[in-house]
Structure 1
Amino acid sequence: MPPSAGSQVSRVPAQRTPPEELAPPAVAPAPRQPRRRLRTVLTVVAGVVAALCLTGGVVGYFVYDRATTPDRSAPDVVVDNYLRAFLVDRNDVRASIFICEGSTDLGQLQRLRDDLADREVRFGTTMSTVWGELQVDRDGDNAEVRVNLTFAAQVDGIRQSDRQAWTFTTRLNEDWRVCSATAG
């Protein structure tokens, strides 16, 4: 219906609600700051643990190396170690690290060890080998080491022993080695 001439119609423009994309974004809560203190502490602890492990590994290597390296520092030491490996332990591989490379004259000592093994079988016993003080006569890079070897066993309830004087010739190259052995 059309408005009458005397009436005044006031027109109010229709208001639209703005579209959502025009609306201001909702305020999001501020993100939490990462725990930098915890991260720093964990980094320091990991660094200290890594340093301790590395140090322990290096120290362990040197301790192991020192413990397993044969002592060939002196003529009497090398003879003592050689006798222990060759006559007591009867370990030819271990004994070989104490002898001179190339020319060696250790056949007489080998025959002695073979004789001791034969006696053990023949008498059903175990032969023990001991020695006392090693006397060293050094001349530059060569040295003679004299020692009395004592062989003992119990046969038929009776303890028996034999004592023999031996002379070992040693030589110094990078370290001391046993080159020869003679009885008498």
Structure 2
Amino acid sequence: MPPPAGSQVSRVPAQRTPPEELAPPAVAPAPQRPRRRLRTVLIVVAGTLAALCLGGGLVGYLLYDKATTPDRSAPDVAVDNYLRAFLVDRNDVRANLFVCEGKTDLDQLDLLRSELFARQEQFGTTMSVTWGMLQIDQTDREAEVRVDLTFTAQVDGIRQTDRQSWKFITRLSDDWRVCSAARVD
């Protein structure tokens, strides 16, 4: 039907239904996450192994450090370790770990060791060095340590022994060190 004459009709544009492609997509269910149980287990195992290795390395280092650090905790301990390194093991590098830095007076002990070598070659024998109790006379940062050194050798089937009294002066800086040695008559 046409509109009556003389009336004004307002035209409203026709509304169209939007095409389906412009419509919001249907909500799809969230995809299920794949199970990562194996990955989690591997991460936990790897972390645990890393912690154990790190801890084991630290313990190993501390044990190694304790085993290789020379004991210079007391004057008699420093002298005992010095004598063992210098006269028994004949290891100058190790012996120097027990010696004072700077000026020392260990010439008499050097001479004694040289004489021991010469006697061993002369008589074709091995001389052993032992010592007994070390006596300490200590002040605040210095100590005198006295000890009797005993030298024993087997020459022509006869056991020979010589005993000498020695005094060592030790000083405390960070730890105790041997600074001088002299034979006591």
1:76 and 2:76 correspond: yes
Matched residue, 1:175: 175
Moved over 4 A (4+): none
- RMSD, matched Cα: 1.2
For 1:1-184, list aligned pairs within 5 A.
34-184=34-184
Output the amino acid matched with 1:180: S
Q: 2:52 is aligned with what amino acid?
A: L
TM-score by length of 2: 0.81
Which structure 2 residue ranges, 5 or more long, are not aligned?
1-30
Counterpart of 1:11 in structure 2 is none
Structure 1: tracts of 5 or more residues without a match: 1-30
Once the two structures are superposed, residues 87-136 of structure 1 have per-residue CA deviations (whole angstroms, 9 ceiling, x without a partner) of 00111111111111111110001110000000000000000000011111
SS in 2 for 1:125: coil
The alignment-based identity, stated in percent, is 71
Q: How many residues align?
A: 154
Give TM-score, length-normalised by structure 1.
0.81
The CA distance in 2 between the partners of 1:152 and 1:36, in whole Å, is 75
Question: Which deviations, in whole Å up to 9, do the C-alpha atoms of 1:47-104 show, x marking residues without a partner?
Answer: 1000000111111111111111111110000000000010001111111111111111
Q: Distance in 1 between matches of 2:86 and 2:141?
A: 24
**Shift in Å at residue 33 of structure 1?**
5.4
* Shift, 1:34, TM fit: 3.4
Q: How many Å apart are 1:37 and its aligned residue? A: 1.3
